[in-house]
Protein backbone atom coordinates (compact mmCIF):
# COMPACT_ATOMS: atom_id res chain seq x y z
CA UNK A 1 0.00 0.00 0.00
CA UNK A 2 1.27 3.47 -0.85
CA UNK A 3 -0.13 6.92 -0.18
CA UNK A 4 0.06 10.29 -1.85
CA UNK A 5 -0.92 13.67 -0.43
CA UNK A 6 -2.64 15.94 -2.88
CA UNK A 7 -1.29 19.50 -2.83
CA UNK A 8 -3.53 21.79 -0.84
CA UNK A 9 -5.55 18.90 0.57
CA UNK A 10 -4.74 17.25 3.88
CA UNK A 11 -6.69 14.07 2.95
CA UNK A 12 -4.42 11.23 2.00
CA UNK A 13 -5.02 9.27 -1.17
CA UNK A 14 -4.25 5.60 -0.78
CA UNK A 15 -3.38 3.05 -3.44
CA UNK A 16 -2.94 -0.69 -3.09
CA UNK A 17 -0.29 -2.91 -4.61
CA UNK A 18 -2.66 -5.81 -5.39
CA UNK A 19 -4.74 -3.62 -7.77
CA UNK A 20 -3.41 -0.29 -9.07
CA UNK A 21 -6.89 0.81 -10.15
CA UNK A 22 -8.13 1.08 -6.56
CA UNK A 23 -7.87 4.45 -4.85
CA UNK A 24 -9.05 5.44 -1.35
CA UNK A 25 -9.25 8.64 0.66
CA UNK A 26 -10.86 10.02 3.80
CA UNK A 27 -13.43 12.28 2.16
CA UNK A 28 -16.49 10.06 2.56
CA UNK A 29 -18.33 12.55 4.75
CA UNK A 30 -20.22 11.86 7.98
CA UNK A 31 -20.08 8.07 8.24
CA UNK A 32 -20.40 5.87 11.32
CA UNK A 33 -19.65 2.21 11.90
CA UNK A 34 -22.25 2.03 14.72
CA UNK A 35 -25.50 2.63 12.84
CA UNK A 36 -27.50 0.54 15.30
CA UNK A 37 -27.17 3.25 17.95
CA UNK A 38 -30.37 4.87 16.57
CA UNK A 39 -32.24 1.68 17.49
CA UNK A 40 -30.88 1.90 21.04
CA UNK A 41 -32.17 5.48 21.36
CA UNK A 42 -35.55 4.52 19.95
CA UNK A 43 -35.93 1.67 22.43
CA UNK A 44 -34.87 3.97 25.26
CA UNK A 45 -37.66 6.35 24.27
CA UNK A 46 -40.11 3.43 24.50
CA UNK A 47 -39.23 2.50 28.11
CA UNK A 48 -37.62 5.68 29.55
CA UNK A 49 -34.69 3.62 30.82
CA UNK A 50 -32.07 6.39 30.91
CA UNK A 51 -34.55 8.82 32.43
CA UNK A 52 -35.19 6.38 35.29
CA UNK A 53 -31.46 5.83 35.72
CA UNK A 54 -30.79 9.57 35.83
CA UNK A 55 -33.42 10.12 38.54
CA UNK A 56 -31.29 8.02 40.91
CA UNK A 57 -28.43 10.53 40.77
CA UNK A 58 -28.47 14.13 41.94
CA UNK A 59 -26.95 16.69 39.57
CA UNK A 60 -25.34 19.50 41.62
CA UNK A 61 -24.19 21.47 38.56
CA UNK A 62 -25.70 24.88 37.75
CA UNK A 63 -28.14 24.45 34.80
CA UNK A 64 -26.98 27.67 33.11
CA UNK A 65 -23.35 26.53 33.24
CA UNK A 66 -24.02 22.98 32.06
CA UNK A 67 -23.33 21.97 28.47
CA UNK A 68 -24.00 18.25 28.73
CA UNK A 69 -27.13 17.26 30.66
CA UNK A 70 -26.78 14.37 33.09
CA UNK A 71 -29.27 12.26 31.15
CA UNK A 72 -27.18 12.80 28.02
CA UNK A 73 -23.98 11.81 29.85
CA UNK A 74 -25.57 8.58 31.05
CA UNK A 75 -27.01 7.85 27.61
CA UNK A 76 -23.65 8.49 25.97
CA UNK A 77 -21.80 6.26 28.44
CA UNK A 78 -24.32 3.43 28.36
CA UNK A 79 -24.69 3.33 24.58
CA UNK A 80 -20.92 3.18 24.33
CA UNK A 81 -20.81 0.21 26.72
CA UNK A 82 -23.52 -1.60 24.72
CA UNK A 83 -21.56 -1.04 21.51
CA UNK A 84 -18.31 -2.34 23.03
CA UNK A 85 -16.58 0.89 24.07
CA UNK A 86 -16.20 0.12 27.77
CA UNK A 87 -13.83 2.85 29.00
CA UNK A 88 -14.53 6.46 29.83
CA UNK A 89 -11.53 7.23 27.59
CA UNK A 90 -13.61 6.05 24.62
CA UNK A 91 -15.75 9.16 25.03
CA UNK A 92 -12.95 11.17 23.43
CA UNK A 93 -12.87 8.80 20.43
CA UNK A 94 -16.61 8.97 19.81
CA UNK A 95 -17.59 12.52 20.78
CA UNK A 96 -17.59 13.59 17.10
CA UNK A 97 -19.37 10.53 15.72
CA UNK A 98 -22.39 12.12 13.97
CA UNK A 99 -24.87 9.35 14.74
CA UNK A 100 -23.82 9.09 18.38
CA UNK A 101 -24.39 12.84 18.63
CA UNK A 102 -27.88 12.60 17.15
CA UNK A 103 -28.78 9.58 19.30
CA UNK A 104 -27.45 10.95 22.59
CA UNK A 105 -28.51 14.60 22.54
CA UNK A 106 -32.01 15.78 23.44
CA UNK A 107 -32.03 18.84 21.19
CA UNK A 108 -33.79 19.15 17.83
CA UNK A 109 -30.98 18.71 15.32
CA UNK A 110 -33.10 20.13 12.52
CA UNK A 111 -32.67 23.56 14.07
CA UNK A 112 -29.10 23.68 15.33
CA UNK A 113 -25.69 22.36 14.43
CA UNK A 114 -24.45 19.11 15.94
CA UNK A 115 -22.26 19.61 19.01
CA UNK A 116 -19.47 17.46 20.36
CA UNK A 117 -20.45 14.96 23.02
CA UNK A 118 -18.91 14.95 26.48
CA UNK A 119 -15.18 14.33 26.83
CA UNK A 120 -13.52 11.79 29.10
CA UNK A 121 -12.91 14.28 31.96
CA UNK A 122 -16.62 15.22 32.02
CA UNK A 123 -17.68 11.56 32.12
CA UNK A 124 -15.09 10.77 34.81
CA UNK A 125 -16.35 13.61 37.00
CA UNK A 126 -19.82 12.04 36.85
CA UNK A 127 -18.40 8.67 37.93
CA UNK A 128 -16.57 10.22 40.87
CA UNK A 129 -19.44 12.23 42.35
CA UNK A 130 -21.92 9.38 42.89
CA UNK A 131 -22.64 8.92 46.62
CA UNK A 132 -23.46 5.84 48.70
CA UNK A 133 -27.10 6.90 48.91
CA UNK A 134 -27.28 7.18 45.13
CA UNK A 135 -25.64 3.78 44.74
CA UNK A 136 -28.43 2.33 46.89
CA UNK A 137 -31.00 4.02 44.64
CA UNK A 138 -29.32 2.56 41.57
CA UNK A 139 -29.63 -0.94 43.01
CA UNK A 140 -33.32 -0.27 43.68
CA UNK A 141 -33.58 0.79 40.05
CA UNK A 142 -32.22 -2.61 38.96
CA UNK A 143 -34.91 -4.36 41.03
CA UNK A 144 -37.61 -2.00 39.78
CA UNK A 145 -36.51 -2.65 36.19
CA UNK A 146 -37.39 -6.29 36.72
CA UNK A 147 -40.69 -5.54 38.48
CA UNK A 148 -41.95 -2.97 35.97
CA UNK A 149 -40.88 -4.97 32.92
CA UNK A 150 -42.68 -8.08 34.22
CA UNK A 151 -45.80 -6.10 35.14
CA UNK A 152 -45.79 -4.55 31.66
CA UNK A 153 -46.46 -8.05 30.31
CA UNK A 154 -49.68 -8.10 32.35
CA UNK A 155 -49.07 -11.19 34.46
CA UNK A 156 -47.80 -12.13 37.90
CA UNK A 157 -45.17 -14.90 37.95
CA UNK A 158 -46.01 -18.03 39.94
CA UNK A 159 -42.40 -18.40 41.03
CA UNK A 160 -39.38 -16.10 41.04
CA UNK A 161 -36.06 -17.92 41.19
CA UNK A 162 -33.08 -15.82 42.18
CA UNK A 163 -29.56 -16.99 41.44
CA UNK A 164 -27.07 -15.50 43.88
CA UNK A 165 -23.35 -15.72 43.25
CA UNK A 166 -20.12 -13.83 43.70
CA UNK A 167 -17.29 -13.32 41.26
CA UNK A 168 -13.87 -11.76 41.08
CA UNK A 169 -13.02 -8.45 39.45
CA UNK A 170 -9.24 -8.28 39.22
CA UNK A 171 -7.62 -4.93 39.94
CA UNK A 172 -4.29 -3.71 38.63
CA UNK A 173 -3.64 -0.42 40.37
CA UNK A 174 -4.23 1.27 43.71
CA UNK A 175 -8.01 1.14 43.83
CA UNK A 176 -9.58 1.70 47.23
CA UNK A 177 -10.53 -1.54 49.01
CA UNK A 178 -9.06 -3.80 46.35
CA UNK A 179 -7.43 -6.55 48.40
CA UNK A 180 -5.84 -9.96 48.00
CA UNK A 181 -8.18 -12.97 48.03
CA UNK A 182 -6.62 -16.34 48.74
CA UNK A 183 -9.13 -18.40 46.74
CA UNK A 184 -8.63 -16.39 43.57
CA UNK A 185 -4.93 -15.84 44.26
CA UNK A 186 -5.12 -12.23 43.14
CA UNK A 187 -5.89 -8.67 44.22
CA UNK A 188 -9.56 -8.15 43.44
CA UNK A 189 -12.92 -6.65 44.19
CA UNK A 190 -15.50 -9.29 45.17
CA UNK A 191 -18.90 -8.34 43.67
CA UNK A 192 -22.13 -10.10 44.62
CA UNK A 193 -24.71 -10.46 41.83
CA UNK A 194 -28.39 -11.38 42.06
CA UNK A 195 -30.16 -12.41 38.84
CA UNK A 196 -33.54 -13.78 37.78
CA UNK A 197 -33.53 -17.06 35.85
CA UNK A 198 -36.49 -16.30 33.56
CA UNK A 199 -35.74 -12.78 32.33
CA UNK A 200 -31.95 -13.04 32.96
CA UNK A 201 -32.11 -9.54 34.44
CA UNK A 202 -29.79 -8.35 37.19
CA UNK A 203 -31.81 -7.40 40.29
CA UNK A 204 -28.82 -6.32 42.37
CA UNK A 205 -25.08 -5.74 41.90
CA UNK A 206 -23.00 -5.10 45.00
CA UNK A 207 -19.32 -4.20 45.04
CA UNK A 208 -17.41 -5.48 48.07
CA UNK A 209 -13.79 -5.36 49.25
CA UNK A 210 -11.54 -7.98 47.73
CA UNK A 211 -10.85 -10.04 50.85
CA UNK A 212 -14.41 -10.74 52.03
CA UNK A 213 -16.08 -14.15 52.09
CA UNK A 214 -18.45 -15.20 49.28
CA UNK A 215 -21.53 -14.74 51.51
CA UNK A 216 -20.37 -11.51 53.19
CA UNK A 217 -23.33 -9.18 53.92
CA UNK A 218 -25.61 -11.24 51.68
CA UNK A 219 -28.70 -10.84 53.88
CA UNK A 220 -28.23 -7.06 53.99
CA UNK A 221 -28.33 -6.96 50.20
CA UNK A 222 -31.01 -9.53 49.48
CA UNK A 223 -33.59 -8.57 52.12
CA UNK A 224 -34.65 -5.29 50.40
CA UNK A 225 -35.00 -7.15 47.10
CA UNK A 226 -37.23 -9.79 48.69
CA UNK A 227 -39.37 -7.10 50.32
CA UNK A 228 -39.86 -5.29 47.00
CA UNK A 229 -40.67 -8.51 45.15
CA UNK A 230 -43.22 -9.54 47.78
CA UNK A 231 -44.89 -6.15 47.63
CA UNK A 232 -45.06 -6.28 43.82
CA UNK A 233 -46.00 -9.97 43.45
CA UNK A 234 -47.63 -11.10 46.72
CA UNK A 235 -48.72 -14.50 45.38
CA UNK A 236 -45.36 -15.45 43.83
CA UNK A 237 -43.15 -18.05 45.50
CA UNK A 238 -39.55 -16.84 45.76
CA UNK A 239 -36.78 -19.44 45.48
CA UNK A 240 -33.10 -18.88 46.25
CA UNK A 241 -30.51 -20.92 44.36
CA UNK A 242 -26.89 -20.75 45.56
CA UNK A 243 -23.69 -22.77 45.76
CA UNK A 244 -22.08 -24.19 48.90
CA UNK A 245 -20.28 -20.94 49.69
CA UNK A 246 -23.64 -19.58 50.91
CA UNK A 247 -24.57 -22.53 53.15
CA UNK A 248 -24.81 -20.87 56.56
CA UNK A 249 -27.34 -21.20 59.41
CA UNK A 250 -28.38 -17.57 58.95
CA UNK A 251 -29.44 -18.34 55.37
CA UNK A 252 -31.80 -21.12 56.40
CA UNK A 253 -33.19 -18.92 59.16
CA UNK A 254 -33.82 -16.14 56.63
CA UNK A 255 -35.64 -18.55 54.32
CA UNK A 256 -37.78 -19.73 57.25
CA UNK A 257 -38.69 -16.19 58.35
CA UNK A 258 -39.46 -14.99 54.82
CA UNK A 259 -41.19 -18.19 53.62
CA UNK A 260 -38.65 -18.67 50.86
CA UNK A 261 -37.83 -21.95 49.14
CA UNK A 262 -34.17 -22.73 48.58
CA UNK A 263 -31.70 -25.06 46.88
CA UNK A 264 -28.24 -24.49 48.32
CA UNK A 265 -25.12 -26.57 47.85
CA UNK A 266 -23.66 -28.14 51.01
CA UNK A 267 -19.95 -28.95 51.49
CA UNK A 268 -19.22 -32.59 52.22
CA UNK A 269 -18.32 -33.77 55.72
CA UNK A 270 -17.94 -37.06 57.59
CA UNK A 271 -21.55 -37.15 58.78
CA UNK A 272 -22.87 -36.73 55.25
CA UNK A 273 -20.43 -39.38 54.05
CA UNK A 274 -21.73 -41.84 56.68
CA UNK A 275 -25.34 -41.14 55.70
CA UNK A 276 -24.43 -41.69 52.05
CA UNK A 277 -22.46 -44.89 52.61
CA UNK A 278 -25.29 -47.33 51.82
CA UNK A 279 -26.22 -45.41 48.68
CA UNK A 280 -22.60 -45.35 47.56
CA UNK A 281 -22.40 -49.11 48.04
CA UNK A 282 -25.52 -49.57 45.90
CA UNK A 283 -24.05 -47.33 43.19
CA UNK A 284 -20.85 -49.41 43.16
CA UNK A 285 -22.88 -52.58 42.70
CA UNK A 286 -24.78 -50.98 39.81
CA UNK A 287 -21.48 -49.87 38.28
CA UNK A 288 -20.04 -53.37 38.38
CA UNK A 289 -23.26 -54.97 37.15
CA UNK A 290 -23.47 -52.54 34.24
CA UNK A 291 -20.05 -53.54 32.88
CA UNK A 292 -18.58 -50.40 34.38
CA UNK A 293 -20.77 -47.89 32.56
CA UNK A 294 -21.21 -44.50 34.26
CA UNK A 295 -23.73 -44.68 37.12
CA UNK A 296 -25.66 -41.71 38.50
CA UNK A 297 -27.81 -42.25 41.56
CA UNK A 298 -30.02 -39.53 43.10
CA UNK A 299 -31.17 -39.93 46.72
CA UNK A 300 -32.49 -37.78 49.55
CA UNK A 301 -32.40 -37.94 53.34
CA UNK A 302 -32.75 -35.70 56.39
CA UNK A 303 -29.70 -34.06 57.95
CA UNK A 304 -28.95 -31.47 60.62
CA UNK A 305 -25.57 -29.84 61.06
CA UNK A 306 -24.60 -28.83 64.60
CA UNK A 307 -25.02 -25.14 63.77
CA UNK A 308 -28.49 -25.61 62.26
CA UNK A 309 -31.59 -25.29 64.42
CA UNK A 310 -33.58 -27.84 62.40
CA UNK A 311 -33.18 -30.72 59.98
CA UNK A 312 -33.12 -30.04 56.25
CA UNK A 313 -33.78 -32.29 53.31
CA UNK A 314 -30.54 -33.21 51.57
CA UNK A 315 -30.54 -34.29 47.93
CA UNK A 316 -27.40 -36.12 46.87
CA UNK A 317 -26.05 -37.10 43.47
CA UNK A 318 -23.69 -40.10 43.47
CA UNK A 319 -21.72 -40.54 40.27
CA UNK A 320 -19.31 -43.37 39.52
CA UNK A 321 -17.31 -43.87 36.36
CA UNK A 322 -13.97 -45.41 35.50
CA UNK A 323 -12.17 -42.24 36.55
CA UNK A 324 -13.73 -41.31 39.90
CA UNK A 325 -16.42 -41.61 42.55
CA UNK A 326 -18.13 -38.33 43.40
CA UNK A 327 -20.92 -37.29 45.75
CA UNK A 328 -22.47 -33.81 45.79
CA UNK A 329 -25.05 -32.51 48.27
CA UNK A 330 -27.80 -29.90 48.09
CA UNK A 331 -29.91 -28.67 51.02
CA UNK A 332 -33.38 -27.86 49.77
CA UNK A 333 -36.99 -27.10 50.64
CA UNK A 334 -38.07 -27.54 47.02
CA UNK A 335 -40.44 -30.47 46.63
CA UNK A 336 -40.03 -33.16 43.99
CA UNK A 337 -38.03 -36.22 43.12
CA UNK A 338 -34.38 -36.13 44.09
CA UNK A 339 -33.24 -36.22 40.45
CA UNK A 340 -35.54 -33.33 39.47
CA UNK A 341 -34.55 -31.19 42.44
CA UNK A 342 -30.85 -31.79 41.81
CA UNK A 343 -31.34 -30.94 38.13
CA UNK A 344 -33.07 -27.70 39.16
CA UNK A 345 -30.08 -26.87 41.35
CA UNK A 346 -27.43 -27.65 38.71
CA UNK A 347 -29.21 -25.39 36.23
CA UNK A 348 -27.75 -22.56 38.27
CA UNK A 349 -24.78 -22.95 35.95
CA UNK A 350 -26.75 -20.59 33.73
CA UNK A 351 -26.05 -17.92 36.36
CA UNK A 352 -22.35 -18.30 35.64
CA UNK A 353 -23.08 -17.69 31.95
CA UNK A 354 -24.84 -14.44 32.88
CA UNK A 355 -21.90 -13.34 35.01
CA UNK A 356 -19.52 -14.23 32.18
CA UNK A 357 -21.63 -12.15 29.79
CA UNK A 358 -21.57 -9.24 32.23
CA UNK A 359 -17.79 -9.43 32.56
CA UNK A 360 -16.72 -10.38 29.04
CA UNK A 361 -19.55 -8.93 26.94
CA UNK A 362 -20.25 -5.75 28.94
CA UNK A 363 -16.88 -5.36 30.76
CA UNK A 364 -18.57 -5.01 34.15
CA UNK A 365 -15.26 -5.88 35.83
CA UNK A 366 -13.54 -2.87 34.24
CA UNK A 367 -13.19 -1.19 37.63
CA UNK A 368 -10.10 0.95 37.16
CA UNK A 369 -11.12 4.14 39.04
CA UNK A 370 -9.27 4.96 42.25
CA UNK A 371 -12.33 5.62 44.44
CA UNK A 372 -14.37 2.65 45.65
CA UNK A 373 -17.71 4.41 45.04
CA UNK A 374 -16.68 5.33 41.48
CA UNK A 375 -15.97 1.67 40.77
CA UNK A 376 -19.25 0.71 42.45
CA UNK A 377 -21.05 3.10 40.10
CA UNK A 378 -19.24 1.56 37.14
CA UNK A 379 -20.38 -1.93 38.15
CA UNK A 380 -23.97 -0.67 38.36
CA UNK A 381 -23.79 1.26 35.09
CA UNK A 382 -22.48 -1.77 33.20
CA UNK A 383 -25.19 -3.90 34.87
CA UNK A 384 -27.78 -1.38 33.67
CA UNK A 385 -26.37 -1.63 30.13
CA UNK A 386 -26.72 -5.41 30.37
CA UNK A 387 -30.34 -5.11 31.59
CA UNK A 388 -31.16 -2.62 28.84
CA UNK A 389 -30.05 -5.13 26.23
CA UNK A 390 -31.91 -8.00 27.89
CA UNK A 391 -35.09 -5.91 27.66
CA UNK A 392 -34.40 -5.01 24.03
CA UNK A 393 -33.67 -8.65 23.12
CA UNK A 394 -36.96 -9.72 24.72
CA UNK A 395 -38.62 -8.11 21.65
CA UNK A 396 -36.59 -10.25 19.24
CA UNK A 397 -38.68 -13.01 17.66
CA UNK A 398 -35.62 -14.82 16.29
CA UNK A 399 -34.98 -17.15 19.24
CA UNK A 400 -31.36 -17.83 18.31
CA UNK A 401 -30.53 -14.13 18.19
CA UNK A 402 -32.62 -13.37 21.29
CA UNK A 403 -30.44 -15.80 23.26
CA UNK A 404 -27.20 -14.83 21.55
CA UNK A 405 -24.34 -13.21 23.40
CA UNK A 406 -23.88 -9.48 23.03
CA UNK A 407 -20.85 -9.92 20.71
CA UNK A 408 -23.06 -11.70 18.16
CA UNK A 409 -25.87 -9.17 18.61
CA UNK A 410 -23.47 -6.29 18.02
CA UNK A 411 -22.20 -7.77 14.75
CA UNK A 412 -25.62 -8.69 13.36
CA UNK A 413 -27.70 -5.74 14.57
CA UNK A 414 -25.68 -2.77 15.86
CA UNK A 415 -22.41 -2.66 13.92
CA UNK A 416 -23.53 -1.34 10.56
CA UNK A 417 -21.95 1.36 8.45
CA UNK A 418 -24.16 4.36 7.76
CA UNK A 419 -23.83 7.71 6.00
CA UNK A 420 -25.50 10.62 7.82
CA UNK A 421 -26.85 13.44 5.69
CA UNK A 422 -28.40 16.51 7.32
CA UNK A 423 -30.85 18.60 5.31
CA UNK A 424 -33.05 21.54 6.31
CA UNK A 425 -35.91 19.28 7.36
CA UNK A 426 -34.47 15.82 7.91
CA UNK A 427 -31.51 13.88 9.16
CA UNK A 428 -31.01 10.95 6.79
CA UNK A 429 -29.24 7.81 7.98
CA UNK A 430 -28.27 5.80 4.92
CA UNK A 431 -27.31 2.27 5.98
CA UNK A 432 -24.98 0.19 3.85
CA UNK A 433 -26.84 -1.32 0.88
CA UNK A 434 -24.60 -4.41 1.05
CA UNK A 435 -25.26 -5.12 4.74
CA UNK A 436 -25.94 -8.90 5.04
CA UNK A 437 -28.05 -8.55 8.22
CA UNK A 438 -30.51 -5.96 6.90
CA UNK A 439 -33.53 -8.27 7.25
CA UNK A 440 -32.73 -9.00 10.92
CA UNK A 441 -32.38 -5.29 11.67
CA UNK A 442 -35.71 -4.52 9.99
CA UNK A 443 -37.49 -7.27 11.94
CA UNK A 444 -36.18 -5.98 15.28
CA UNK A 445 -36.98 -2.39 14.29
CA UNK A 446 -40.58 -3.39 13.53
CA UNK A 447 -40.94 -5.29 16.82
CA UNK A 448 -39.70 -2.28 18.81
CA UNK A 449 -41.93 0.14 16.92
CA UNK A 450 -44.97 -2.07 17.52
CA UNK A 451 -44.18 -2.91 21.15
CA UNK A 452 -46.25 -1.43 23.97
CA UNK A 453 -44.34 1.39 25.70
CA UNK A 454 -43.92 1.42 29.48
CA UNK A 455 -41.94 3.69 31.77
CA UNK A 456 -39.03 2.77 34.02
CA UNK A 457 -38.67 6.39 35.09
Same domain, 42 and 77: yes
Residues in the chain predicted with pLDDT less than 70, given as ranges, are 1-11, 107-114
20 and 96, same domain (yes or no): no
Q: Specify if 373 maps to a domain.
A: no
pLDDT at residue 384 in the model:
98
Could you tell me if residue 103 is inside a domain? yes
Q: Do 40 and 19 share a domain, yes or no?
A: no
Residue 8's pLDDT is: 44
Could you give the number of structural domains in the chain? Answer: 3
Residue 365 lies in a domain: no
CATH of the domain at 299: 3.30.1300
Residue 261 resides in a domain: no
Please indicate, yes or no, whether residues 41 and 109 belong to a single structural domain of this protein. yes
Domain that holds residue 310: 270-346
Which pLDDT does position 48 carry in this prediction? 96
Mark whether 408 and 339 lie in a shared domain: no
Residue 69 and residue 94 in one domain: yes
Same domain as 73, residue 3:
no
- pLDDT for the residue numbered 297: 94
**pLDDT computed for residue 388 by the predictor:** 98
**Angle, vertex CA 447, rays to CA 443 and CA 452, nearest 5:** 175
Residue 195 within a domain: no
| Domain membership flag for residue 145 | no
Question: What residues have CB less than 8 Å from 334, skipping those under 6 apart?
Answer: 239, 261, 262, 263, 341, 344
Based on the fold, state whether residues 44 and 100 are members of the same structural domain: yes
The answer to whether residues 283 and 297 belong to one domain is: yes
pLDDT at 108: 58
Q: What is the pLDDT of residue 11?
A: 67
102 in a structural domain: yes
Q: Is residue 336 part of a domain?
A: yes
**Same structural domain, 14 and 69:** no
Are residue 15 and residue 52 in the same domain, yes or no? no
Q: How many CB atoms lie within 10 A of CB 4?
A: 11
pLDDT value at residue 4: 45
For residues 71 and 7, membership in a common domain is answered with no
Amino acid sequence: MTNNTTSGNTSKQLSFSFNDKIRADFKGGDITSDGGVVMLRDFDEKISFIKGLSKCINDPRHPLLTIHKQEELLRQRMFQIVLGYEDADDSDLLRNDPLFQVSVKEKDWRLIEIEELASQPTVTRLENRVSEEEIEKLNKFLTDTYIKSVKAKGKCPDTITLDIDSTDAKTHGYQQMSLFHGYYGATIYHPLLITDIETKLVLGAYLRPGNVHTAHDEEKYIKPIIDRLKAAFPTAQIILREDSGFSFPEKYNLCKRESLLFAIGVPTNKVLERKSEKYLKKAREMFEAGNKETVKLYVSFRYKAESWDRQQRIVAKIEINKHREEIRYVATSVKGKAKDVYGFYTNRGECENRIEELKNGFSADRLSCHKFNANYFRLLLHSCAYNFMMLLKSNVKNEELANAKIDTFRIQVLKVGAWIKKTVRKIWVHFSSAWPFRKIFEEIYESIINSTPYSLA
